[in-house]
Structure 1
Amino acid sequence: MEIRLLTPADAEDYWELRLEALKQNPESFLTSYEEAVTRENPVEQVARNLSAAGNYTFGAFEGHRLIGMATLLHESSTKIKHKANIFAVYVTPEKQGLGAGKGLVTAAIEKAKTFEDIEKINLTVNASNEKAKKLYTKLGFKTFGLEEKALKINNTYFDEEYMVLHV
């Protein structure tokens, strides 16, 4: 398995995996699958995001197949430039448990450490996603808050935990 920074050339593979993620785990993402598929030129938008300053998306590859992803976003506003956020973490179901998630989040953490001004990394996780919470905790993240009813999908509410890693 290879973990590497994605480039605009990976945009189509990323978009396909993103749609899979939104379908498989709607409770884990702010964007819905239905919203995503109505976007105009989504692959071009992804390509732009993959080359945007402060935006680092890592991919886990098995051969040439993208099986997982995670994004680190370095805040750019002066007052919050000491923070980064990890989001859009996903590993395709049949490849979970093989270390891709750990490799992706570790790559994002290591990237954050290359910036002198980043002091902490935040993330949110579905409060019922025990596997993800266990991984984040193992990597040093600590829960600092809970938002009840953070997401509402088909009249079902999902809570989110806020986690932080001080670097």
Structure 2
Amino acid sequence: MSMNTISYRKLIPEESKAYRTIRLESLKQFPESFGANYHEALKTEKFQLESDIEEQTVGRFVLGAYAADMLIGICTFIKSDKNSGTIYQMYVKREFQGKNIGQGLLEAVIHEAGRQFNGIEILLEVAPGNDKAYHLYRKTGFLEVENTSVQDFSHCIIMKYMPE
């Protein structure tokens, strides 16, 4: 398999450490894009999602983008109580950006969520000013929705997957 061939799949239990490594990298590279702090995260012995990957928790998964066997991107899906779920932690390594891998990851997560939970509503949040991500989400079929949440996410734009 050449480095040009990108594959997408769910992370398996043995890959929880690889997830941790790339997650920390994402926080270090783009602190403004994620609702988490790199230095705080470093102190966290084990992320909840590391455990979710190891236990293959239902309704919580991390999808990876791989160039050959190297994990180069991640995207997380977490199902809520209702028939909806949210995409988090979308990240592609800098040297692989601009190659439509982010879109491939999103589409793979949407497909996997739909396979596991038929007809599920898929949401995500994007920080205002993160135009690159916003345009990617629009291109993939996400549209802005009214913020009906009780919590105040006014600092974020809420988007919902609404394919044509």
For Structure 1 versus Structure 2, the TM-score category normalised by the shorter chain is 0.7 to 0.9
Q: Which residue of 1 aligns with 2:17?
A: 12
**Does residue 55 of structure 2 align to residue 55 of structure 1?**
no
Which aligned pairs between 1:11-160 and structure 2 lie closer than 5 A? 11-40=16-45, 42=46, 45-50=48-53, 51-75=56-80, 77=81, 80=82, 82-114=83-115, 115-118=117-120, 120-145=121-146, 159-160=155-156
Structure 2 stretches lacking a partner, 5+ long? 1-5
Give the Å deviation of 1:128: 0.9
Give the Å deviation of 1:117: 5.0
Question: What amino acid maps onto 1:164 in structure 2?
Answer: K
Q: Percent identity, aligned pairs only?
A: 34
* 8 Å CA contact 1:60, 1:67 repeated in 2: yes
* 8 Å CA contact 1:9, 1:47 repeated in 2: no
Q: Which residue of 1 aligns with 2:158?
A: 162
Distance 2:132 2:27 in 1: 18
Structure 1 stretches lacking a partner, 5+ long? 152-158
RMSD over aligned Cα atoms: 2.2
Give the Å deviation of 1:14: 0.9
- Please state whether the residue corresponding to 1:122 is helix, strand or coil: strand
Q: 1:53-81: per-residue Cα shift (whole Å, max 9, x none)? A: 11121001111211100011122x2xx2x
Alignment TM-score, normalising by the size of structure 1: 0.83
Q: Which residue of 2 aligns with 1:155?
A: none
Give the Å deviation of 1:166: 3.8
Distance 1:23 1:98 in 2: 21
Give the Å deviation of 1:116: 2.3
The size of the alignment, in residue pairs, is 152
Moved more, 66-75 or 45-54: 45-54
